Chain A
Amino acid sequence: MAFWRKTLQTNAGLLIILLLLILLPHIIGLLTGSDPFATRGAAVSWQGTIIEIYILAIFTISYNLLFGFSGVISFGHALFFGMGGYILGLALEYTELTPDMGIIVGILGAVVICGVLGFLIGLASLRLRGVYFTVFTLAIAESFYIFWGRLPLTKGEDGFTLTTLPTWLNPIADRITFYYIVMVIFVLTFLFIRRLMFSPTGAVLLAIRENEERAKTIGYNTLYFKLMAFTVAAMIAALAGVLQVVFNKKVGPELLSVGYTIDPLLMTIIGGAGTFTGPVIGATTLHLLDRTLRDRVITFTPDFALDIGKSWMLISGFIFIIVVIVFPYGIVGTWNRWRAKRRPPITVSSGTQAPIAEKQSG
Chain B
Amino acid sequence: MNKTFLVIGAVAVGLFLFGLSNANGDLGSFGITIMSGLFQAMLLFLVASGLSIVFGLMDVLNFAQGSFFMIGAYVAYAVHHSPQLIAAIPNADIRFIIALLSAVFVGGVLGVFFERALLRPLYARPIFQIVMTFGVALVIGELIKVVWTPTPYSWTAMFTARSGFFTLFEQQFSTYRLFVIGAGFLLIIGIGLLLQRTRIGIIIRAGVEDSQMVEALGINVRAVFTLVFTLGCAVAALGGAVAAPFLGASTGLANQFLLSAIAIVVLGGLGSYGGTAIASILVGVSVAVIQDWSASPGVNAPVWASLTPMILLVLILLIRPSGLFGKEN
Q: A-side interface residues toward B, CB under 8 Å?
A: 71, 73, 75, 124-125, 127-128, 131-132, 134-136, 138-140, 142-143, 146-147, 150-151, 258, 262, 265, 269, 311, 313-314, 316-318, 320-321, 324-325, 328
Contact = CB atoms under 8 A, between A and B. Distances in A.
Contact of B310 (A75, A140, A313): A140
A89 B322 CA distance: 38
B142 A317 contact: yes
Nearest to A259: B138
Given A135-B262, A324-B128, 6 more contacts: A124-B314, A143-B310, A143-B314, A146-B306, A146-B307, A320-B138
Interface stretch (B39-47, B102-110, B117-125, B283-291): B117-125
A136 B146 contact: no
A151 B307 CA distance: 13
B149 to A, nearest CB: 11
A321 B310 contact: no
A92 to B, nearest CB: 25
A292 B169 CA distance: 64
Interface of B: 55, 59, 61, 63, 118, 121-122, 125, 127-128, 130-132, 134-136, 138-139, 142-143, 145-146, 255, 259, 262-263, 266, 270, 302-303, 306-307, 310-311, 313-314, 317-318, 321-322
A128 B317 contact: yes
B303 A150 contact: yes
Given A132-B266, A147-B303, A325 B61 contact: no
B314 A139 contact: yes
A314 B122 contact: no
Q: Which 10 A-B pairs have the closest CB atoms?
A: A314-B142, A317-B139, A320-B135, A150-B303, A143-B310, A317-B138, A131-B61, A139-B310, A313-B142, A146-B306
Contacts of A265: 131, 134
Nearest to A148: B303
Contact of B255 (A135, A142, A150): A142
B61 A135 contact: yes
A314 B143 contact: yes
B46 to A, nearest CB: 19
Given A321-B118, A324-B128, A328-B125, A147 B307 contact: yes
B131 A143 contact: no
Contacts of A258: 255
A311 B136 CA distance: 15
A138 B259 contact: yes
21 contacts: A73-B130, A128-B317, A131-B55, A131-B270, A132-B266, A132-B270, A132-B317, A132-B321, A132-B322, A139-B313, A142-B255, A142-B310, A143-B311, A262-B138, A311-B146, A314-B146, A320-B138, A321-B132, A321-B139, A324-B132, A325-B118
A324 B139 contact: no
A314 B139 contact: yes
A161 B266 CA distance: 38
A269 B125 CA distance: 14
Contacts of A128: 317, 321
Contacts of A142: 255, 259, 310
A75 B303 contact: no
B66 to A, nearest CB: 11
Residue with the highest number of chain A CB atoms closer than 10 Å, among B61, B138, B143, B307 = B138
Contacts of A328: 125, 128
A324 B314 contact: no
Contacts of B118: 321, 325
Contact of A134 (B128, B130, B310, B321): B130
A127 B318 CA distance: 10
Contacts of A73: 127, 130-131
B317 to A, nearest CB: 6
A142 B290 CA distance: 19
Contacts of A314: 139, 142-143, 145-146
Contacts of B146: 311, 314
A26 B129 CA distance: 44
A139 B316 CA distance: 13
A324 B310 contact: no
A23 B145 CA distance: 42
Given A313-B142, A317-B139, A320-B138, A325 B122 contact: yes
A182 to B, nearest CB: 28
Contacts of A139: 259, 262-263, 310, 313-314
Contact of B131 (A269, A311, A316): A269
A124 B55 contact: no
A124 B306 CA distance: 22
A162 to B, nearest CB: 25
A69 to B, nearest CB: 14
A140 B306 CA distance: 13
A135 B134 CA distance: 12
A308 to B, nearest CB: 12
Nearest to B125: A328
A316 B138 CA distance: 9
A317 B118 CA distance: 13
A139 B311 CA distance: 9
Q: Which of A75, A131, A134, A262 has the most CB of B within 10 A?
A: A131
Nearest to A307: B146
Contacts of B255: 142, 258
A153 to B, nearest CB: 12
B70 to A, nearest CB: 14
A128 B322 CA distance: 9
Contact of B318 (A75, A124, A325): A124
Contacts of A127: 321
Contacts of B306: 146, 150
Contacts of A124: 314, 318
